[in-house]
Structure 1
Amino acid sequence: MSERETTRLVAWSRELRQVHQRLREALSVTRASLADGTPGEAATRDLLLYCHGFCTALDAHHQGEDRTLFPAIAAAHPQLRPVLRALQQDHSMIAYLLNGLRAAVGRSAPPEELDQHLEGIAAIMENHFRYEERQLLTVLETLELAAPPGEVLGPI
């Protein structure tokens, strides 16, 4: 195996960590926008933009994992299927929470309610990311997967 191939194999674990970090940052920016509390139409537009961007990015990340990454891991490491099922259940829970946030933003819910949505998403998302990293990073260092990172982990 060439050095480039080895680098590419290890890159999946690095890619996952980077995507998780960018999603954490996107959530932080969204929460900061809400905490700023600047009244007016511009603040509402900013919050809509941040929430939409964050929700879209997190959804795309999980869909890419479910569609491409997890089947590849299951094929190479069948013993991890229970872990992958648990992660997919988390994806469903997070999607449900994101839909609740979208609905709250769409009806211009008060900042306290929006923050409750974001706090719930943050707690589940962080727990999910940590579990995923503990369970999969070592596997990702040896996974052979010929697919663009954006397709596998979302366009982050």
Structure 2
Amino acid sequence: MHPSTQPGDRLAALGTQLIEIHHWLREELAQLRASLEPGAAPPAGGDRLRSLRAHCLSFCSALTAHHTGEDAGAFRVLAEEEPQLRPVLEKLAQDHRLIDGIVRRIEELAADPTVADPAAAARVLAELDGLTAIVESHFGFEERTIIAALDALRADAGSAEELFGLAPPAW
């Protein structure tokens, strides 16, 4: 089978693209968390504080862009096309607001000059543990409840980047 060349046609189902984005975000979160573990190897450049801040900023920005993109893109389109999903979409949007609060706390902690100290790093780790638990639950629920509806969207509903705030990673 040859890929279609019609404008708006997708080569991968939107549901698959969403799962790929979630997988990448999970990996990034795990790497961020591992970098704070006691005894973690120093980054290539040797500056743990700068590396932590850069990784945190990158991850937090990507997660925020994804959730903001979903709220304005995929959730809006799904609410119009699949009205029965509106309660699920509202629950997911509520999760986004909760996650955003945790992300802001992590960003504040990472900006603190003492973040490299063991006690400060432990506070960041605790926030990352909470974020990991919520994100895992959120991503799993989202994947179970809206993948089929995403896959059924018409081709002109938007690209993955328009609907999810991020493009799937290029593995």
TM-score, normalised by the number of residues in structure 1: 0.90
Inter-partner Cα distance in structure 1 for 2:161 and 2:148? 20
Query: What is the aligned-residue identity percentage?
Result: 37
Inter-partner Cα distance in structure 1 for 2:57 and 2:127? 14
Q: Give the counterpart letter for 1:142 in structure 2.
A: A
Q: Cα distance, 1:32 vs. partner?
A: 1.4
Q: Cα distance, 1:29 vs. partner?
A: 1.1
Question: Which structure's CA Rg is the greater one?
Answer: 2
Q: Specify the alignment match of 1:51 in structure 2.
A: 56
Contact 1:101 1:117 in 2 (8 A): yes
Q: Give the counterpart letter for 1:32 in structure 2.
A: A
Contact 1:34 1:115 in 2 (8 A): yes
Inter-partner Cα distance in structure 2 for 1:101 and 1:134? 28
Contact 1:68 1:151 in 2 (8 A): yes
Q: What SS class does the counterpart of residue 8 from structure 1 fall into?
A: coil
Inter-partner Cα distance in structure 2 for 1:154 and 1:15? 12
After TM superposition, the structure 1 = structure 2 runs for residues 1-156 of structure 1, keeping only pairs within 5 Å, are 4=4, 8=10, 11-35=13-37, 36=40, 38=42, 42-107=47-112, 108-109=114-115, 110-144=120-154, 145-156=156-167
TM-score, normalised by the number of residues in structure 2: 0.82
Structure with greater helix percent: 1
Q: Give the counterpart letter for 1:60 in structure 2.
A: A
Q: Give the counterpart letter for 1:74 in structure 2.
A: A
Q: CA RMSD in A?
A: 2.3
Inter-partner Cα distance in structure 2 for 1:33 and 1:15? 27
Q: How many residues align?
A: 154
Q: Cα distance, 1:111 vs. partner?
A: 1.1
Deviates more, 1:15-24 or 1:107-116: 107-116
Q: Give the counterpart letter for 1:71 in structure 2.
A: R
Q: What SS class does the counterpart of residue 157 from structure 2 fall into?
A: coil
Contact 1:9 1:140 in 2 (8 A): no
In structure 2, stretches of 5+ residues that fail to align are none
